[in-house]
Amino acid sequence: MTYLPPTRELRERLDTAQTLSRLFYREEAIVLACGGFVPHTPRLEAKAELGRTAWESALAADALRERVFELRYPARFLDEQSEEIVIGDGTELAGLLARQRDDYRAYLEAADELADGPSTRLVAAALRDKERQVEALAELELADGDPARDGRYFLSSFYWPDVLDPDYPYGEGIALQLRSAVSHLNEVWAVETAGRILRELSPELGWEFTSEAARWLYDETRHMLMGKERLEAWGLPTAKIPLGGYIYEAWQQEDPLYGLGMLGYFETKNIGRKRERARAFEAMGDRTSELDMEFDWADETLHAEYGRRWLRRLLEARGEDPESWPQVLERCEQLVRERVAAATPADLERIRTCADALVRTATERAVRS
């Protein structure tokens, strides 16, 4: 008997699922490594890049995972992880990013657009991100010590005097513009906290957490950069801008459960004031501060929900009462109070001098412009 011949070279459906599973596990490993490295890299730009890479990689991983489920329909499972992935330092991360980029390229070259169009589309998007990440993270500097602080700034755990001295005014006008930008910059504590809980709680909470925590981390890096860029645009000297992270320091020796509590609680505590601040900036004609505040507020609404849900799930996963979360938050508050109580009068004096000088410099510039 004779038949018509095959007309296209195709990869088998289940082979495709296996290949995409392997790519998923690598993306997952990249997400976790980025989170874990965040506190150890000093430069804010590098922390931000790790956050962005974590988020983009989580998006790619999510799409790969869903595609594998489609290809295996009606079954819904991922193959066991077949290769051991170790990312112990920046060089190993760069190596894996490059390997992933090359494998995405090879996948696209071999793919059949007609049979496997949905994979082609998601792999092309993931490849575009990987190409950027490979460049951006080529020389990641990781320091010992936890957390690594960006030495270009005025380093002070307590980044504004009002943290230590409730009588120090939050400020109006220029002082308020500055206080708000310094707060955004100092969300570096939230960046580091999000990075660590992503790394340390993912094994307990699973992929859904990993994926949301990567977005959480990315959002906090954007909030940090909002402050950094406003302060830079006003031409304020970096060495006079305070950078600290007492909330991160307050929990860094503790169970990451408290990191989750801190991030879910202290980051969203001021949601109520954000609208009022945005209006104050609008009245000053400072559209950037106003819009940054509004976008930040949108993110925080999402984060408040992450915090509530994952704190309950974590307690549940540990066999504790999920409704006991208020105790976690109480302990968080206590840890922060202890960290604040450990500050000395010299710490207060030092940050007061720094803040007063920054307000003066900003005031002079505002008059001149």
Residue in this structure with the two tokens 């955004």, named with its chain if needed: 184
DSSP for 247-279, please give it: HHHHHTTS-HHHHHHHHHHHTTTTHHHHHHHHH
- 90, 141 in Cβ contact below 8 A? yes
Nearest distance from residue 299's CB to Fe ion, in Å?
Answer: 6
**Cβ count within 10 A of residue 233:** 10
Q: To 5 degrees, how large is the angle CA 184–CA 187–CA 193?
A: 165
Question: Distance between CA atoms of 186 and 163, rounded to whole angstroms?
Answer: 12
**Cβ count within 10 A of residue 144:** 6
CA max distance for the chain = 95
State the residues that interact with Fe ion by CB under 5 A: 187, 220, 223, 267, 303
**Cβ count within 10 A of residue 2:** 4
User: Which lies closer to Fe ion via its Cβ, residue 296 or residue 347?
Assistant: 296
> Helix, strand, coil % (nearest 5) of the chain?
75, 0, 25
Backbone dihedral angles phi then psi of residue 357, each to the nearest 5 degrees: -65, -40
Q: Which residues pair with 59 in a beta bridge?
A: none
Q: Which residues pair with 243 in a beta bridge?
A: 155
Question: Distance between CA atoms of 120 and 108, rounded to whole angstroms?
Answer: 6
Question: Distance between CA atoms of 194 and 191, rounded to whole angstroms?
Answer: 5
- 81, 32 in Cβ contact below 8 A? no
Secondary structure of residue 242 in the 3-state scheme: strand
